[in-house]
Amino acid sequence: MDQICINQLDADERGEQVTNISRIFQAASEVVVWLGTAADGSDRVMDVWTQIGAMAQQFDVEEHRSRRNQHQALDHTAVETKPQDSTAMQFESIIDQTLQLPDRRTLNAIVAWEKRRWFSRVWVVQEYALSKEAIVMCGKKTLLTTTAESGRELFVEAVKRLPPDLLSICLPLFQDPMHVFAITRAARRPSNDGKIGSHTLYELLRLLFTNNHV
């Protein structure tokens, strides 16, 4: 869209308009992330993210994550509490339900889904990180990014318990671009006092893609 709407041959116009882009995404009531047409089992992937995301939100993944370090593994909830603790039991039940959803074909589809070109474009991070509400659209399926983030975080913890032959399929998910997008959005999320996070978008991009600190 930016390439079409901005005169790429006019450096002054380009420079002026680029500075406006972040304001556009921040002001938008809703941003649609278009991943492309349905392919490689993407419909199944969108359904799985919806199902797992709903379970994650029922468990309140966000609340458990914010109690500790924002990026700390969620399965510490089960490790740090007694087996009979209600929270640990609920967590284990959801993990068991999550593990029943993906088969080999679905796991391969999830890996293919996260290799889509959109995730490789650095400057689309601002679409995702700055928007008030973002919706992922793939084919005819739609999914709230908050549901996808929660569901994916729970899913990554669950797949660690898969048999080795299935776990090997999922290894790319532990170092994938969707994780980068999720933590960027979290870092830009307004704090309790209403201020935007301490990092500017440029600083976040530098940390994520150059220094690899986040």
Q: What is the pLDDT of residue 180?
A: 65
Distance of CA 156 to the CA centre of its chain: 12
**Separation between Cα atoms, residue 192 and residue 90, nearest integer Å:** 28
Q: What is the pLDDT of residue 32?
A: 92
Please, which residues bridge with residue 134 across strands? 31
Q: What is the pLDDT of residue 56?
A: 84
Domain regions of the chain by residue span? 33-211
- Burial class of residue 184, CB neighbours in 10 A (0-12, 13-18, 19+): buried
Q: What is the pLDDT of residue 192?
A: 39
Q: What is the pLDDT of residue 38?
A: 96
- Burial class of residue 96, CB neighbours in 10 A (0-12, 13-18, 19+): exposed
- Of 186, 195, 190, the closest CA to residue 204 belongs to 186
**Separation between Cα atoms, residue 104 and residue 96, nearest integer Å:** 17
Written as six digits, the tokens of 81 are 């509490």
Q: What is the pLDDT of residue 71?
A: 40
Q: What is the pLDDT of residue 69?
A: 43
Written as six digits, the tokens of 87 are 């929270």
List pLDDT tens digits, range 76-116. 554 455 556 777 788 888 889 998 988 999 999 998 998 89
Torsion of CA 62, 68, 71, 73, to 10 degrees: -90
Could you count the other beta carbons within 10 Å of the beta carbon of residue 15? 10
pLDDT < 50 stretches in the chain: 66-73, 75, 78-79, 191-196, 213-214
- Of 104, 86, 80, 85, the closest CA to residue 159 belongs to 104
Q: What is the pLDDT of residue 146?
A: 83
